[in-house]
Amino acid sequence: MTALTPTDDDAAVPSSRAPRQGLWPLLAVHAGLFAGGAVVLSLDPPAQGWGVLVVVAAYVVALLLTTRATGQADLHALAGFLVLVSLFQVLPDWVLADVVGTLAFPDRGGPRFDDVIPLAMMLMWVAPLFIALSLSGGSAARAALLAGLVFAGAEVLAPALGLWEPVGDTTRLLGVAVYVVPAEVALGWAAATAFALVRHRPLAVRAGAALAVSTFYLGALVLAHFVIDVADWTITT
């Protein structure tokens, strides 16, 4: 897993290549996430929901501690910024579930906001965004492409795992609501670009940028849903 380095043609995330000795600890953290996830998803509710919350929280803590302990300042800063983004990402999901009506989160146990969305979703965005951005080589365009691939895989698996599922009248492909894919591509680009701009700024500025990323993502979701699922594209007189 490499840290992010700037390119001439993309305003992306500045950093250096991750030290080789830091690769294995990072791989171990992500292996632990997948192993822990497999265990808790095999549990029955409500233990499953609580288990998911514990696993994603442990992953975030382990990721921050590992990037710090291995001296990977770029990836540590990236992880910290993505935690802020993930905290705000509950808002777009909440709007889709409670207002737009195109997303549902089955109650598998654990704390939920307004009985609509699990608290665990506030940390669940860190892993896919970290994977996409850390492998992007500093290119916002590559971060967008990788985010699209990572999130598309997650969208395919999520309904079977009982994490979330598309609902309502939306165009589907392999069970995935198509409108979310371009929005998630845009999310990868926005997160990479924002991090490049605010990495060395105070916490309040980074938090504001993280909120801006989530707001941008919400706009991309609504626009994509309108273009793909709502608009008839007819001209009347």
The pLDDT, as a whole number, for residue 23 is 86
Q: Which position has the token pair 């382990």? A: 62
pLDDT for the residue numbered 18? 47
Q: What is the pLDDT of residue 4?
A: 52
3-state secondary structure of 233: coil
CA distance 209 to 220: 16
pLDDT of residue 19: 53
Q: How far is CA 178 from CA 25, 78, 207, in A?
A: 35, 28, 29
**Residue positions counted in the chain:** 237
Alpha-carbon distance 115 to 213, whole Å?
Answer: 25
The CA R_g of the chain, rounded to the nearest whole Å, is 18
Kindly state the average pLDDT of the residues 100-113: 97
pLDDT value for 5: 46
7 occurs within a structural domain: no
pLDDT value of position 22:
73
Residue 3 in any domain: the answer is no
Q: For all residues of the chain together, what is the average pLDDT? A: 92
Q: What is the pLDDT of residue 21?
A: 64
Nearest to 126 by CA among 78, 163, 175: 78
**In DSSP terms, which residues pair with 118 in a beta bridge?**
112
pLDDT tens digits along 148-198: 999 999 999 999 999 999 999 999 999 999 999 999 999 999 999 999 999
pTM: 0.90
| Distance, CA of 153 to chain centre | 12
> What is the extent of the structural domain holding 120?
20-230
Decide if pLDDT at 11 tops 70.
Answer: no
Domain count, the chain: 1
39 lies in some domain = yes
7 confidence band (pLDDT: 50, 70, 90): very low
